[in-house]
Amino acid sequence: MENKKDIFDRIMSLRILRFAYPFYGKYKEKLLYLFFGVLTTVIGIAVFYLFDYILLFDVLLANVLSWIIAVLFAFFTNRTWVFKSGTDSSILRQLLTFYIGRVATLLIEELILLIFVTLLDFNSLAVKILTQIIIIVLNYIISKLIVFKKE
């Protein structure tokens, strides 16, 4: 069975990036997860900023709304490019499992925001950004071991 090169393989095959191809080949899944994790985080923070700072929603509601949008983006990018499980199993089962895993990490994130923003009055955007480190690691573990595990 021959592996087709995806867009990232083709980009890394460019002459200017070829020096990094061995590293990329060895750590492709983790690198793509980090790449899309950063994009998901940027989307989540931008939407959070919109709801919290511009529309003046409650900080916890702003977080939930930004989370819903970011998780949907993360699901499709993880399914398509990171874990390449588009044909392995049902999209509905994966989507449900993905959201359940993300709900668990959302609850952790909400608890951190509740403690540090609502109770201790820290800057909400700073806490949101720092919290993402914990959340990205937990989400990778859940996705790798549960949602998109190879059958």
Q: Three-state SS for 60?
A: helix
> How far does Cα 70 stand from its chain's mean position?
7
Taking each helix axis as running N to C, give the angle between helix 124-142 and helix 21-49, from 0 to 180 degrees, rounded to the nearest 10. Answer: 130
Q: How far apart are CA 76 and CA 23, in angstroms?
A: 25
pLDDT tens per residue across span 81-90: 898 876 656 8
Q: Answer whether residue 1 is part of any domain.
A: no
62 domain-assigned: yes
Q: Please indicate, yes or no, whether the overall pTM of this predicted structure exceeds 0.85.
A: no
Q: Is the pLDDT of residue 149 over 90?
A: no
Residue type, 28: K
Q: Does some domain include residue 82?
A: yes
Residue with tokens 């009055």: 121
For residue range 96-128, what is the model confidence (pLDDT) as tens digits? 999 999 999 989 998 999 999 999 999 999 998
- Interacting residues of 47 by C-beta distance below 8 A, sequence separation 6+: 65, 66, 69, 70
Residue (of 34, 138, 4) closest to 147 by Cα position:
138
CA-wise closest residue to 31 among 66, 68, 67, 6: 6
Residue 61, domain extent: 7-147
Q: What pLDDT score was predicted for residue 132?
A: 82
2 found inside a domain: no
The answer as to whether 36 is a domain residue is yes
Q: How confident is the model at residue 2 (pLDDT cuts 50, 70, 90)?
A: very low
The mean predicted confidence, pLDDT, of the chain is: 89
Q: What is the sign, positive or negative, of the torsion defined by CA atoms of 78, 103, 45, 122?
A: negative
Side-chain-side CA neighbours of residue 36 (13 Å): 22
| Total domains in the fold of the chain | 1
